[in-house]
């Protein structure tokens, strides 16, 4: 009988493991989400694994050998408790599939500030001042709300010149 198991993957090889398991007619799934991050001051979209280094797979270990799974490209080993592979409830995997790549999940995984978040400016003429993140201003800058001389002022600051508190 086929059951869901958890496998440990080599670093950043979840997609490769999924492909090679699929080639062996083994159903595999790794939850992932597309997130926006700052990379060298630019906003970029990337696909990241929700559980880096792990993949769920559905197999009958009476028919498919654990050694076959372990020798699959991208897989390190099956996660075990003692001598037995860790069985994962199917309902959990199906719920993860249903919620994958949702707007809520993207917001949780993103390291970018959201409107209203406090940030501190760490370079330029406003170094050391706290500000409130308003919105992105292109790929490399953001609009921040500063309080200068008891007056709120909007300023466009490079993404590399501030950090979230």
Report all structural domains of the chain as residue ranges with CATH numbers, in order of start: 3-109 (3.30.70.940), 118-164 (2.30.30.30)
Mean of per-residue pLDDT scores for the chain? 86
109 touches 48 (CB < 8 A): yes
Q: Averaging pLDDT over each range in 6-20, 35-49, 139-153, which range is the top one? A: 6-20
The token pair at 126 is 């406003």
The token pair at 163 is 């950090």
142 touches 155 (CB < 8 A): no
pLDDT surpassing 80 at residue 32? yes
Percent of the chain at pLDDT > 70 equals 93
CB atoms within 10 A of CB 152: 10
Confidence band for 111, pLDDT divided at 50, 70 and 90: low
Q: Which residue has the higher pLDDT, 79 or 40?
A: 79
pLDDT surpassing 70 at residue 45? yes
> What's the predicted TM-score (pTM) here?
0.66
Distance, in Å, from the CA atom of 131 to the CA atom of 145, rounded to the nearest integer, reads: 5
């Amino acid at each position: 009988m086929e059951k869901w198991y958890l496998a440990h993957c080599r670093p950043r090889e979840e997609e490769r493991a999924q492909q090679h398991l699929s080639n062996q007619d083994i159903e595999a799934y790794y939850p992932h989400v597309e997130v926006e991050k700052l990379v060298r001051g630019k906003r970029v979209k990337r696909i990241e694994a929700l559980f880096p280094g792990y993949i769920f797979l559905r197999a009958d270990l009476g028919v498919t050998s654990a050694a076959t799974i372990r020798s699959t490209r991208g897989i390190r080993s099956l996660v075990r408790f003692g001598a037995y592979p860790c069985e994962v409830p199917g309902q959990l995997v199906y719920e993860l599939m249903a919620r994958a790549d949702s707007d809520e999940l993207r917001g949780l995984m993103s390291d970018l500030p959201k409107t209203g978040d406090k940030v501190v400016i760490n370079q330029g003429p406003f170094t050391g001042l706290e500000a409130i993140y308003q919105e992105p201003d292109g790929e490399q800058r953001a609009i921040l709300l500063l309080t200068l001389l008891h007056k709120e002022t909007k300023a466009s600051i490079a993404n590399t010149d501030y950090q979230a508190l």
